[in-house]
Amino acid sequence: MSEKKTSNTMWGGRFAAGPAAIMEAINASIGFDRKLYAEDIAGSIAHATMLADADIITADDRDKIVAGLKTIREEIESGKFAFSTRLEDIHMNVEARLAELIGPAAGRLHTARSRNDQVAVDFRLWVKNELLCVRAALTGLIEALLDRAEENASTIMPGFTHLQVAQPVTFGHHLLAYVEMFARDRSRVDDAVERMNECPLGAAALAGTPFPIDRFATAKALGFREPTRNSIDSVSDRDFALEFLALAAICATHLSRFAEEIVLWTTPQFGFARLSDAFSTGSSIMPQKKNPDAAELVRAKTGRVNGHLIGLLTVMKGLPLAYSKDMQEDKEAVFDAAETLDLMLAAMTGMVKDIVVDAAAMRKAAASGYSTATDLADWLVRELKIPFREAHHVTGRAVKLAEEKKLPLHRLALADLQAIHAGITGEVFSVLTVEASVKSRKSYGGAAPGEVRKQIKAWRKRLAKT
């Protein structure tokens, strides 16, 4: 594409000279908004088609415009298109090339629209498509978690609070906690798509247009539910970008929490799991090292996504209505956050499928730290009918005695327990193993293997419906 004309031609006769080099550098966005080429061309084709249907341009001009736009799309996708910073953005790059291809008919394409509503529709289309990609990636991650949860529905591991051993659970139950998190992320994607599924094309610069356009037709052609209802809000709104970044930041936080656990589990101190070489690296100096770098990088990239959210919130916080050039800063944040989140989701899905669990190490850890103490307290309440607070006190004394004797609870002598509370019988030992503890947690959403399998089955049904 030729660069013979400088960008002042689109501003009209008021600007006699081209912009200074520094103005060109700060003003141009083609370096990143070229990513919107497919959406820009789709929006222009829909707009041209509507203009012809409304008798605003001729069918012949429409056909030339549509053919030219398709040629430009082919040029871009084949790498033959020459992008120009002098033409500022993707919209003017496409329009200038269209003029070279089809002549004066290209000038009619911009009838009844502005770059303000043009960029708004392009960006919405891009974010909407990216949300659908994120949804698919989340579904894949959830399915991988369900597969591993089903394999480990009975694999006993310690449940933690304050990173201290609290009560026995199963690895399957633990993984289902992340299913819940990522399912909420998926529901936020659905909510965001529903809210942003309105088309701003036709709002023009900010006040609409006197031409008899059909905004419902362009909305339908571009896959939106309906057109936006206020022309000022149409061009000044970036809630859809903020909402994308917000849900991306929440999802990245969930991924980071999971990544942190993988880092912990794969240490020699925990020894709960290991990753293959596919998701690990070695040390340049310590030959024995195997580092969970994929998990560490997922954890680190969360800060990058969070930063983009704060950045765009800060850009938008002081803008009067309607459009301001500040809003050009929206795209790089969203593009980078999207690319980062896509990579994080792919890496985590891979690690979930790759990780190998050491069931023996998990079970041993689950039995440490007097993790069945609550089972003793529950037994006292259930069998001896004493108030829970009293049972808590009795159990505390039993734990203290076990610590003094350096024994697990289930190894204490019955006489020792009866010295603390005379009503305790030998039946108490049936609840003090980690297996018994886990099996007893049959409440809805609890850790019992049978309950875990019920939840897995229910989640598979939900996924099949959506």
> For 318-348, what is each residue's pLDDT tens digit?
999 999 999 999 999 999 999 999 999 999 9
Please tell me the predicted confidence (pLDDT) of residue 369: 87
- Please indicate whether residue 11 or residue 80 has the higher confidence score (pLDDT): 80
- Return the active site residues: 162, 283
**198 forms bridges with which residues in the sheet?**
226
Q: Which of 125-129, 167-171, 282-286 is least confident?
A: 282-286
Q: Is the pLDDT of residue 444 over 60?
A: yes
Please tell me the predicted confidence (pLDDT) of residue 7: 44
Average pLDDT over residues 209-217: 98
Please tell me the predicted confidence (pLDDT) of residue 37: 97
Band (pLDDT 50/70/90 cuts) for residue 283 is low
Which two three-digit tokens encode residue 184?
Answer: 């909420």
Average pLDDT over residues 240-258: 98
Torsion angle defined by CA atoms of residues 311, 134, 119 and 325, in that order, rounded to the nearest 10 degrees: 0
Tokens 């069918």 correspond to what residue? 59
Please tell me the predicted confidence (pLDDT) of residue 466: 83
CA distance 5 to 14: 16
Q: Which of 310, 292, 295, 302 is nearest to 341 (CA)?
A: 302
- Do 87 and 8 contact (CB within 8 A), yes or no? no
Average pLDDT over residues 455-465: 95
Q: What is the pLDDT of residues 164-201, one digit of tens each?
A: 998 999 999 999 999 999 999 999 999 999 999 999 99
Q: Is the pLDDT of residue 277 over 90?
A: no
Q: Is the pLDDT of residue 452 over 70?
A: yes
Please tell me the predicted confidence (pLDDT) of residue 16: 55
Q: What is the mean pLDDT of the chain?
A: 92
Band (pLDDT 50/70/90 cuts) for residue 14 is low
Q: Convert the chain into a string of H (helix), E (strand) and C (coil).
A: CCCCCCCHHHHCCCCCCCCCHHHHHHHCCHHHHHHHHHHHHHHHHHHHHHHHHCCCCCHHHHHHHHHHHHHHHHHHHHCCCCCCHHHCCHHHHHHHHHHHHHHHHHHHCCCCCCHHHHHHHHHHHHHHHHHHHHHHHHHHHHHHHHHHHHHCCCCEEEEEECCEEEEEEEHHHHHHHHHHHHHHHHHHHHHHHHHHCEECCCCCCCCCCCCCCCHHHHHHHCCCCEECCCHHHHHHCCHHHHHHHHHHHHHHHHHHHHHHHHHHHCCCCCCCEECCHHHCECCCCCCCCCECHHHHHHHHHHHHHHHHHHHHHHHHCCCCCCCCHHHHHHHHHHHHHHHHHHHHHHHHHHHHHHCEECHHHHHHHHCCCCCCHHHHHHHHHHHHCCCHHHHHHHHHHHHHHHHHHCCCHHHCCHHHHHHHCCCCCHHHHHHCCHHHHHHHCCCCCCCCHHHHHHHHHHHHHHHHHC
Q: Is the pLDDT of residue 312 over 90?
A: yes
- Please indicate whether residue 88 or residue 22 has the higher confidence score (pLDDT): 88
Please tell me the predicted confidence (pLDDT) of residue 2: 41
CA distance 88 to 7: 7
Please tell me the predicted confidence (pLDDT) of residue 153: 97
